[in-house]
């Protein structure tokens, strides 16, 4: 009894200190390793902004010009750094301005924690000034959301938010904090990170028998084909994946979000899948005998017509999200689990092989595509500049070491097709949602996430004008982003479809633009505009060598189309070269 009493007397009491909910939030962010926040203040989040005034030495807050710019910057940061992006916004319109970015992050599996201010708890449901029901608005586009009305909840809720955002299949989380909870004082006993939530299983159990079955199919295959997506990158399994590819000798192709997991010029990398992907990977999808899909979701832009997609093949699908397996394409062998664990387990069981003849077939298609499309796109003999030759020249200068951030449209497909990528996390684009206006703010975030890298934002003249105000963020923060505008004076991708499928009826796609160089100059950003081929390489060198941000506008041919192309409603094997 005396011993028990001695132990109790020696137990130190838990130290607490009285802090506001706002301070507890900031302490939690610091404990989670957050060092950059993208945000925009307002009335309902003002207590948090007042608290952050005293944390300027620990938290670098980047003042964006629009909340959508803030969340896209958070996405860019998450994609290059591998960390959770953090975004602040106020209530009402501030919160609703996050919705597009939340939807983008949700479909592209980008880990974010968004903090929104909310009106006082006693005003909820009264249509108070700048009150919106942000929880119900964002439920479909978040992995988890929660409204805090009591400051005592903040430490635990934030720990859950980070755990949910980064674990399993990553995604965006939104925490809505009422103003009274931000101001409320409570006894704060420190921050404990979360590593388990009852009923939430971020990684499914790996079933060894399925890995054995998958290995047997691969070992028996004559024409196996690997298609991989961003899951390899999110799982930090690039080395494991490379080992699998090289041991198996299997030709491998990528979705746009998977680009860079192995280098572009790897001998077994046969190119990009999808509507504007490479000729061989698309056609030969319908000739392989075993199709191994890793960390991808069989998006419609990759599969084309599902009733004509890889019907001859046995399908092996590796994914961390069980809901993706059998959702679009029926699998022969499902391999649930984190690819960081499932890929090495599969590699151990497969035989080392060399599928030289099968690989050679991809290379034959490469030659057809080069002669019909790539030669003229990258090395035109005359005429106006093409988007492809701009990206080709950029490759020559960056040697595949830059981070390429693309907007949405023709320039995106051209950049994804032709950009040379030596490293993972070097291709940042809006994949599933296709959000115009993504690139400029995402490039800002991407640079903060990869400070030692050259970050080049490749943007069309239409998408650039959707978030052009973020030039102000560049001006104020001093971030070094290279902005490359490929200006064809059209909303190019829509125009291409109107040309090919609507009898050249160009309906509201002829877009006029301001003097982009003059606009950049107004924000203190150097710039240049060119239209002549002989000026291209020197101008790109000037952009890349400039200390600080630089805007280069390249006037490209107006009515050039992106090929190859799988027309909507067609099979991937019906891909057109012209």
Q: In this structure, what CATH number is given to the domain that contains residue 268?
A: 3.40.50.1220
Tell me if 62 is assigned to some domain: yes
Structure tokens at 540: 């790109």
Rounded mean pLDDT of 457-461? Answer: 98
Alpha-carbon separation of residue 237 from 106, 228, 378 (angstroms): 21, 12, 33
Name the residue with tokens 């860019």: 76
User: Can you tell me the distance from the alpha carbon of 532 to that of 544, in angstroms, rounded to the nearest whole number?
Assistant: 19
| Cβ atoms within 10 Å of 55's Cβ, excluding its own | 16
Tell me if 181 is assigned to some domain: yes
Tell me if 75 is assigned to some domain: yes
Sorting pLDDT into bands at 50, 70 and 90, what band is 13?
A: low
The answer to whether 446 and 405 have CB atoms below 8 angstroms apart is: yes
Rounded mean pLDDT of 420-444? Answer: 97
User: Can you tell me the distance from the alpha carbon of 70 to that of 47, in angstroms, rounded to the nearest whole number?
Assistant: 19
* Count of domains for the chain: 3
Q: H or E segment at 70?
A: helix 67-81
| Cβ atoms within 10 Å of 479's Cβ, excluding its own | 20
- For residues 398 and 489, membership in a common domain is answered with yes
Rounded mean pLDDT of 34-41? Answer: 98
Sorting pLDDT into bands at 50, 70 and 90, what band is 10?
A: low
Residue closest to 153 by CA, chosen among 125, 186, 179: 186
| DSSP secondary structure, 399-452, as one string | TT-SEEEE-SSHHHHHHHHH----STT-EEE--SS--TT-HHHHHHHHHHH-TT
Q: What residue numbers bound the domain in which 111 lies?
A: 16-188
- For residues 240 and 339, membership in a common domain is answered with yes
User: Can you tell me the distance from the alpha carbon of 528 to that of 486, in angstroms, rounded to the nearest whole number?
Assistant: 12
Last residue of a domain, one of 361, 393, 426: 361
Rounded mean pLDDT of 367-387? Answer: 95
- For residues 61 and 162, membership in a common domain is answered with yes
| DSSP secondary structure, 201-231, as one string | -SSPPP-HHHHHHHHHHHHH-SSEEEEE-TH
- For residues 85 and 175, membership in a common domain is answered with yes
The answer to whether 314 and 330 have CB atoms below 8 angstroms apart is: no
Last residue of a domain, one of 188, 217, 238: 188
Rounded mean pLDDT of 317-342? Answer: 97
- For residues 87 and 164, membership in a common domain is answered with yes
* 462-499 pLDDT, tens digit each: 999 999 999 999 999 999 999 999 999 999 899 999 99
- For residues 181 and 283, membership in a common domain is answered with no
What rounded mean pLDDT belongs to the chain?
A: 96
Q: What is the pTM of this model?
A: 0.95
User: Can you tell me the distance from the alpha carbon of 189 to that of 567, in angstroms, rounded to the nearest whole number?
Assistant: 59
- For residues 403 and 286, membership in a common domain is answered with no
* 192-250 pLDDT, tens digit each: 999 999 999 999 999 999 999 999 999 999 999 999 999 999 999 999 999 999 999 99
Tell me if 561 is assigned to some domain: no
Sorting pLDDT into bands at 50, 70 and 90, what band is 45?
A: very high
pLDDT at 7 over 80: no
pLDDT at 49: 98
pLDDT at 111: 98
User: Can you tell me the distance from the alpha carbon of 33 to that of 44, in angstroms, rounded to the nearest whole number?
Assistant: 25
pLDDT at 381: 86
Measure the CA angle with vertex 153, ends 96 and 201; round to 5°.
80
Residue closest to 435 by CA, chosen among 76, 114, 175: 76
* 383-431 pLDDT, tens digit each: 999 999 999 999 999 999 999 999 999 999 999 999 999 999 999 999 9
- For residues 158 and 252, membership in a common domain is answered with no
User: Can you tell me the distance from the alpha carbon of 306 to that of 240, in angstroms, rounded to the nearest whole number?
Assistant: 30
The beta strands (E) that lie in 129-206 are given as 144-148, 172-178, 185-188
Tell me if 262 is assigned to some domain: yes
pLDDT at 364 over 50: yes
Q: Burial letters for 358-389: b for 16+ Cβ neighbours within 10 Å, e otherwise? A: bbebbeebbeebeebbbebbbebeeeebbbbb
pLDDT at 568: 86
Rounded mean pLDDT of 171-186? Answer: 98
Structure tokens at 319: 């994914």
pLDDT at 51: 98
pLDDT at 214: 98
- For residues 163 and 26, membership in a common domain is answered with yes
Sorting pLDDT into bands at 50, 70 and 90, what band is 1?
A: very low
Tell me if 570 is assigned to some domain: no
Percent of the chain past pLDDT 70, that is, above it, reads 98
pLDDT at 15: 84
**Residues carrying an active site annotation:** 67, 129-130, 179, 493
Sorting pLDDT into bands at 50, 70 and 90, what band is 441?
A: very high
- For residues 481 and 547, membership in a common domain is answered with yes
pLDDT at 570: 93
- For residues 72 and 147, membership in a common domain is answered with yes
| Cβ atoms within 10 Å of 519's Cβ, excluding its own | 17
Tell me if 281 is assigned to some domain: yes
Rounded mean pLDDT of 303-323? Answer: 96
pLDDT at 12: 60
* 263-302 pLDDT, tens digit each: 999 999 999 999 999 999 999 999 999 999 999 999 999 9
pLDDT at 11 over 80: no
- For residues 47 and 184, membership in a common domain is answered with yes
Sorting pLDDT into bands at 50, 70 and 90, what band is 4?
A: very low
pLDDT at 14: 73
Rounded mean pLDDT of 324-333? Answer: 97
Question: Which CATH number fits the domain that encloses residue 503?
Answer: 3.40.50.970
Tell me if 5 is assigned to some domain: no
Query: For residue 169, what are the contacts with CB-CB under 8 A and spacing of at least 6?
Result: 109, 202, 231, 234, 320, 321
pLDDT at 264: 95
Phi-psi category of 434—alpha, beta or left, where left has phi over 0 and alpha has psi -120 to 50?
Answer: left
The answer to whether 149 and 181 have CB atoms below 8 angstroms apart is: yes
Cis peptide leading into residue 18 (ω within 30°) = no
């Amino acid at each position: 009894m005396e011993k028990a009493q001695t132990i109790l007397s020696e137990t130190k009491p838990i130290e607490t200190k009285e802090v506001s909910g706002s301070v507890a939030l900031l302490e939690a962010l610091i404990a989670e390793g957050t060092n950059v926040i993208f945000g925009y203040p307002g009335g309902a989040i003002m207590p948090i902004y007042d608290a952050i005034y005293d944390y300027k030495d620990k938290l670098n807050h980047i003042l964006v010009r629009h909340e959508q710019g803030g969340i896209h910057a958070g996405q860019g940061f998450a994609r290059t750094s591998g960390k959770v992006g953090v975004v602040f916004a106020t209530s009402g319109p501030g919160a609703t301005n996050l919705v597009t970015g939340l939807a983008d992050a949700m479909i592209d599996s980008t880990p974010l924690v968004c903090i929104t201010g909310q009106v006082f708890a006693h005003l909820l449901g009264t249509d108070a000034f700048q009150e919106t029901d942000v929880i119900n608005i964002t439920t479909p586009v978040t992995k988890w959301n929660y409204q805090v009305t009591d400051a005592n909840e903040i430490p635990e809720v934030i720990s859950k938010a980070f755990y949910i955002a980064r674990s399993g299949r990553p995604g965006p989380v939104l925490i809505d904090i009422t103003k009274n909870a931000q101001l409320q004082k409570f006894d704060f006993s420190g921050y404990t990170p979360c590593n388990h939530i009852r009923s939430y299983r971020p990684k499914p159990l790996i079933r060894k028998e399925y890995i054995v079955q998958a290995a047997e199919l691969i070992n028996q295959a004559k024409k196996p084909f690997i298609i991989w997506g961003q899951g390899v990158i999110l799982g930090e399994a690039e080395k494991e994946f490379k080992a699998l590819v090289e041991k198996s000798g299997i030709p491998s192709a990528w979705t746009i979000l998977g680009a860079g997991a192995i280098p572009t010029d790897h001998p077994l990398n046969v190119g990009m899948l999808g509507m504007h992907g490479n000729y061989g990977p698309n056609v030969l999808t319908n000739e392989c005998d075993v199709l191994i899909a890793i960390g991808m979701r069989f998006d419609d832009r990759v599969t084309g017509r599902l009733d004509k997609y890889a019907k001859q093949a046995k399908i092996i699908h590796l994914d961390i999200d069980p809901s993706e397996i059998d959702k679009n394409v029926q699998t022969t062998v499902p391999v649930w689990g984190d690819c960081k664990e499932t890929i090495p387990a599969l590699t151990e069981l497969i035989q080392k092989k060399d599928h030289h003849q099968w690989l050679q077939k991809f290379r034959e298609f490469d030659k057809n595509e080069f002669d019909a499309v790539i030669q003229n796109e990258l090395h035109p003999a005359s005429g106006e500049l093409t988007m492809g030759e701009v990206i080709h020249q950029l490759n020559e200068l960056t040697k595949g070491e830059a981070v390429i951030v693309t907007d949405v449209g023709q320039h995106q497909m051209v950049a994804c097709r032709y950009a040379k990528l030596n490293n993972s996390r070097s291709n940042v684009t809006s994949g599933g949602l296709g959000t115009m206006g993504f690139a400029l703010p995402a490039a800002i975030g991407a640079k903060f996430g990869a400070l030692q890298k050259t970050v080049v934002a490749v943007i069309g003249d239409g998408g650039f004008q959707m978030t052009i105000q973020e030039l102000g963020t560049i001006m104020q923060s001093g971030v070094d982003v290279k902005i490359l505008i490929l200006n064809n004076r059209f909303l190019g991708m829509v125009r291409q479809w109107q040309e090919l499928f609507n009898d050249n009826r160009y309906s509201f796609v002829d877009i006029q633009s301001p003097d982009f160089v003059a606009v950049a100059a107004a924000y203190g950003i150097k710039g240049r505009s060119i239209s002549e081929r002989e000026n291209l390489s020197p101008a790109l060198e000037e952009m890349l060598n400039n200390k600080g941000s630089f805007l280069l506008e390249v006037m490209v041919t107006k009515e050039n189309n992106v090929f190859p192309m799988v027309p909507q409603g067609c099979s991937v094997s019906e891909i057109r070269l012209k």
